[in-house]
Structure 1
Amino acid sequence: MANQSKKQNQNQNQNQNQNQNQNQNQNQNQNQNHCHNQNSNKNTDEDFNLRETTPSLGSGRIARNDRAGTAFDLVEQMDYLYIKVVKARELQGNPSPFVELKLGGLISTTRHMENTSIPEWNQVFSILKDRIEATLIEISVKDKAKGNDLIGTISFDAIDVPRRVPPDSPLAPEWHRLVNKKREKIAMELMLAIWMGTQADEAFPEAWDLDATSVNGDGLGSIRSKVYLSPRLWYLRVNVIEAQELQIGEKNRQQPEIFIRVTIGNMILQTKISQSKNVNPLWNEDLMFAVAEPFDEHLVLSVEERTAPCKDENLGTVTIPLQEVDKRLDFRPPVSKWYHLGKHSNSDKNANVLKSRVHLRISLDGGYHVLDELTHYSSDLRATARQLWKPPIGVLELGILSAQNLTPTKTANGNGKGSTDAYCVAKYGQKWIRTRTILNSVNPKWNEQYTWEVFDPCTVITICVFDNSKLQAPNSNNKDSRIGKVRIRLSTLETGRVYTHLYPLIVLTPSGITKTGEIQLAVRFSCASLLNMMMMYSQPLLPDLHYLHPLSCHQIEILRHQATQIICKRMSRAEPPLRREVVEYILDVGSNMWSVRRSKANHYRIAIILSALVKFVKWFDQIRSWKNPLVTILVHILFLAFVCSPWMISSTVFLCLFLIGAWNYRGRPRHPPYMDVRLSQADAAHGHELEEEFDTFPTSLTQVDAMKMRYDRLRAIASRVQTVLGDLATQGERCYNLVSWRDPRATALFLMFCLIASVVLYVTPPKAVAAVMGFYGMRHPRFRDRLPGCPTNFLRRLPAKTDGLL
């Protein structure tokens, strides 16, 4: 038995040793996994970081310094071969001519002219010098009507092309005699000009890309760079006052429910049902719209009567052209007018004039700034009326250099290799710019420079990168893919300095966060007068009317939606159009929708702000706990000095703030802000949270279980928020009930304490009271009770309105 027990003990010891070894191995694996996760997170952070670069800007003239700049000094100089085809003459037989340009394997054509012997094209073609693979330039005139039959041709050597350096005068085109198929000279002549230039050439924005060999004529317009202007937006205020002598359908109807519906384009608003339920209803209600110049739309106002829950009867209509509406710069009441109502008959389109009329006060309010962007991302804060504008305070220059390692979005020419047709769009103020589309390249180089006037330094420029989906399928409904977005706040930039950085391009999708590449930008903010710019910090952010007669948050959201719809519609009518998905992405449409990720990000932002207060409380707790007696004694001495000399408190506080700011100067930010993945909580977002964030509104989800999960999660989050808000309300109600006699005994005790405290404070010097309170709060833990104090216990016992809640 003893031997068996010894064997059992040995087996148990062996099992324990094996378990300990297994636990050690598990701990080692966990430590290794933890280290691996830390390293992977570190690598992830490095991938999403901003990187400073040192490009050779302006052909070496400026490279990240503060010297005075010249035109196109924020981009790298790129050499282009330009070919300008002007016109032809002496064509025989009224053909349908067009010009074909061939340079090695690159072929491009002009538009063809119908039945003319003296066609005029006035088209410019360009090709990057580095993409030239042959020296022979062949320019041919062909007949579209005869199956692209050759009429005449001419050849040039690319080596002998003259070079033009801006701002030289434009190169004058010349007439050139053509040769036929037999290499014989013919009477037909072609006027053209060929030269070598840079992207600073005035022909660059309108030049067609000679490298667009796989693009048909319908997509070529979207390749060139363009500048767009947002329409000038106004707020239209319709003050519906009253109506008179309305003709009710049923004469015996008592208390009719009458309201007014106002329509402008596809925007519809309506008043509340009039409280005076008779044939002379009264409203005195304002309806606000966002409209754009030129005012080619009409304001349609109709008086409606609610006859059933889902049925309305029209009592009369009036149409008012917006061009006849008065403009005002302040809030002086405009002249009110009576408008006679008309009613359309079913038999004809003519309106029958009624005796009914409506009293309106209509105005275009130019003293507001029409918000089309989020307020904290606004690029323009000026009022609509030009009379209220102030002179610009500076100039913003942006050089869009290149991009690296873009994510392929399509297959190039069916060869199985991924490619991207990337272009950039930037918006600041009313000016939008669109760069050239670089075909079939994941490392495109644009090197285009643009300039904006700056009226307020506390504004933001937005730069976005997209993939052009119209080139391979011009007639499709495919949307341009988002590649990434960059925002730069001008107030974070030093004036006169050139910032050259590689910004990470980040896209959030339902599958998670993705880095789609990097974009290289050069930014410079220059101010004409430092004093004028510093004065801007003392002025209101928005025009005065936003503060004297503010709009409600609900009105601002509706008007912003209307403004974005107007801009999308106008931009889509440009040539080439700036598509709706591009405009909405830049204007952050839908960014105010519910998102668990954004809620977490805002929670952590608040936690970071309150962390300073938490640190102070912890530090004071260490002082009260006498963990470091020397520091605690020094704090007591400093506190006693403040009690004896209270006038030193404010000066000491400001001196400390000055010293903290001066100390932080060494670690000041040297780079512009950029998209922070960790701050946005994008790296920690779960898949179901992202699916909910990208869901449409109303939801397009049909799975019941997923809907229940989202709803339950929202209820859980809302319950925590509800609890916190309830606790805050409870504490406030308890403080109010100190003197409300809701609890007679508690109120009596508090009033007795107030009476005694008033007497004591009257006869006791304030310094003594402050010293006693301070030393009592910092007393040694040996003399302190760990239980809550009397004031805390008294406050917690007070009643609140929670007793009346269901």
Structure 2
Amino acid sequence: MADKKDDFSVKKISPKLGGEKGIRNPKGPTSSHDLVEQMEFLYVEVIKADTYNPIVEITLGNYKSSTKTLTLGPNMEWNQVFAFDKTKGDVLSVTLKDGRRENGTVIGKQDFKVAADIPFRVPPDARIAPLWYSMGNMELMMSVWFGTQADEVYPRAWFADASEVSASCVRNTRPKLYLAPRLCYVRVTIVSGHDLICNDVERTPSVYVRATLGVVELYTEVSLGSNPSWNQDLIFVASEPLEETVYITLFDKVNGQPHDDECIGVLNKKLSEMNAVKVPGSAPALFYDIEPPVNLEPAGDSRRFASRIKMKLATDQAYHVFDECLQYSSDYRAFAKGLWPDLLGKLEIGILGATGLQPMKEWRDGRRSTDAYVVAKYGNKWSRTRTVVGSFSPKWNEQFSWDVYDKCTTHSESSIITNLR
């Protein structure tokens, strides 16, 4: 029998989009999640217990989550939110145990009927206030409610399908928003040196200049004489905020061996002190005094303080540093915000789900699984859905938005498989 081939053709789907409809607003959506299907979750926020070294176990159907591996905060609080699929059981059980005992002696238990005892919350409704619940001779502070992916606790919740993921790795299952820092060109133009003196006053210096920004080092060519000329551009890339320092060092090449080169002067310049060029052009050439290196100047010799270097120092903020393919760029804006074009509108993306994913890993017991999430990028904003653990047909139903300044730009998405456990 021939192997079944994957069908990658375009298929029509009929998701139930539109956000909140019905009694609140029969005419249309009332939430910002109108491009995705509404997903209802049973949220349990566990705050703290008035006992030493407590453990809280939360059970709904076959799903169980626990605070056993969670670290208590300085005020002996967890402030942890657990999320369950409300269709997985009829009764929510919250059990408080004594963590000092090996098997965790049960202190008390509280049951909630899913259909009757739990309120439903729709943002922008206020948060459900936590209450103290009696657990035998102790009390547990928590709040329980039904919500959707529009709840503000959604990004930090520990979902029941990720209950097998360790507490140290659960952060990798959560949705994230990342704003990449904007990049700026830094132009260091070494023009010439004036009255440069090497250690051996009887020898003509052979000087080159090294400029360092971060871990990047750039060099000029070697030029002879006490008044060498280079006229050479050294271009760096820096990220906002422009708080770094460029280190300028002058070397005298002695015997042709790099380890024999002698430092004859240094100069440091902060990026914030450079000329911010916001229109195409160059900065003015200025003279800068060179400081002699430590313990190099002979006692009583003040000639080195007269040594100078002529440079053009500028941050070219009129340009955009490309960090992606030119043909599919998502951003053409200059570094300077004052040069940005007017806002054209907003790009909104609803990431619904996926089907037919292939197993990406196999466990020792023979199980095969896939933990998938989606990354979407536009401009300098990266968005990442939560990781749906152990599913070949994950549903995310998360919505993201971006400001659009140029219609000739490209939005990119990718599905990524990650190993969490």
Interval of TM-score (by shorter of Structure 1 and Structure 2):
0.7 to 0.9
| Partner SS for 1:138 | strand
Give the Cα separation in 2 of the matches to 1:238 and 1:212. 51
Deviation at 1:229, TM superposition (A): 0.5
Deviation at 1:424, TM superposition (A): 1.0
Give the Cα separation in 1 of the matches to 2:10 and 2:256. 58
Which residue number corresponds to residue 396 of structure 2?
A: 446
Which residue number corresponds to residue 41 of structure 2?
A: 80
Q: Does 1:301 align with 2:251?
A: no
Contact kept? 1:103, 1:138, Cα under 8 Å:
no
Q: 1:402 aligns with which of 353, 371, 375?
A: 353
Cα 1:360–1:461, aligned 2, differ >3 Å: closer, same or farther? Answer: same
Which residue number corresponds to residue 241 of structure 1?
A: 191
Q: Does 1:373 align with 2:324?
A: yes
| Partner SS for 2:416 | strand
Contact kept? 2:36, 2:399, Cα under 8 Å:
yes
1:145-224 superposed matches below 5 A: 150-160=106-116, 161-179=118-136, 186=137, 188-224=138-174
Which residue number corresponds to residue 270 of structure 2?
A: 321
Cα 1:353–1:150, aligned 2, differ >3 Å: closer, same or farther? Answer: farther
Deviation at 1:168, TM superposition (A): 2.5
Which residue number corresponds to residue 113 of structure 1?
A: 72
1:706-721 superposed matches below 5 A: none
Cα deviation code 1:621-654 (max 9, x no counterpart): xxxxxxxxxxxxxxxxxxxxxxxxxxxxxxxxxx
Q: What are the ranges of 5 or more consecutive residues in structure 1 without an aligned counterpart? A: 1-39, 62-66, 180-185, 347-351, 473-806
Contact kept? 1:223, 1:437, Cα under 8 Å:
yes
Which residue number corresponds to residue 299 of structure 2?
A: none
Contact kept? 2:95, 2:106, Cα under 8 Å:
no
In structure 2, give the amino acid aligned to 1:136.
L
Return the TM-score normalized by structure 2.
0.85
Which residue number corresponds to residue 24 of structure 2?
A: none
Cα 1:96–1:318, aligned 2, differ >3 Å: closer, same or farther? Answer: farther
Q: Does 1:283 align with 2:235?
A: no
Cα deviation code 1:228-263 (max 9, x no counterpart): 101122111112122223232444444x43221111
Give the Cα separation in 1 of the matches to 2:386 and 2:54. 28
Higher strand share: 2
Cα 1:232–1:145, aligned 2, differ >3 Å: closer, same or farther? Answer: farther
Contact kept? 2:121, 2:145, Cα under 8 Å:
yes
Contact kept? 2:183, 2:238, Cα under 8 Å:
yes
Contact kept? 2:19, 2:29, Cα under 8 Å:
no
Cα deviation code 1:754-792 (max 9, x no counterpart): xxxxxxxxxxxxxxxxxxxxxxxxxxxxxxxxxxxxxxx
| Identity level (%) | 38
Cα 1:108–1:465, aligned 2, differ >3 Å: closer, same or farther? Answer: same
Cα 1:145–1:262, aligned 2, differ >3 Å: closer, same or farther? Answer: farther
Cα deviation code 1:368-425 (max 9, x no counterpart): 112111111111111111111233111111111111222221114x331321111111
| Partner SS for 1:373 | coil
Cα 1:48–1:306, aligned 2, differ >3 Å: closer, same or farther? Answer: farther
Deviation at 1:49, TM superposition (A): 4.1
Cα deviation code 1:273-299 (max 9, x no counterpart): 33xx10221122221111112334321
Which residue number corresponds to residue 577 of structure 1?
A: none
**C-alpha RMSD of matched pairs (Å):** 3.0
Q: 1:57 aligns with which of 17, 29, 43?
A: 17
1:766-781 superposed matches below 5 A: none
Q: 1:230 aligns with which of 174, 177, 180?
A: 180
Deviation at 1:134, TM superposition (A): 5.6
| Partner SS for 2:292 | strand
Deviation at 1:145, TM superposition (A): 8.9
Which residue number corresponds to residue 96 of structure 2?
A: 140
Deviation at 1:218, TM superposition (A): 1.1
Which residue number corresponds to residue 213 of structure 2?
A: 264
In structure 1, give the amino acid aligned to 2:17.
L
The structure with higher relative contact order (CA 8 Å, sep 6+) is 2
Q: What are the ranges of 5 or more consecutive residues in structure 2 without an aligned counterpart? A: 22-27, 297-301
Deviation at 1:268, TM superposition (A): 1.6
In structure 2, give the amino acid aligned to 1:58.
G
Cα 1:317–1:197, aligned 2, differ >3 Å: closer, same or farther? Answer: same
Contact kept? 2:86, 2:114, Cα under 8 Å:
no
Cα 1:282–1:176, aligned 2, differ >3 Å: closer, same or farther? Answer: same
Higher helix share: 1
Give the Cα separation in 2 of the matches to 1:325 and 1:98. 57
Cα deviation code 1:137-164 (max 9, x no counterpart): 2242543697855554433232332222
Contact kept? 1:342, 1:353, Cα under 8 Å:
no
Cα 1:377–1:386, aligned 2, differ >3 Å: closer, same or farther? Answer: same
In structure 2, give the amino acid aligned to 1:162.
P
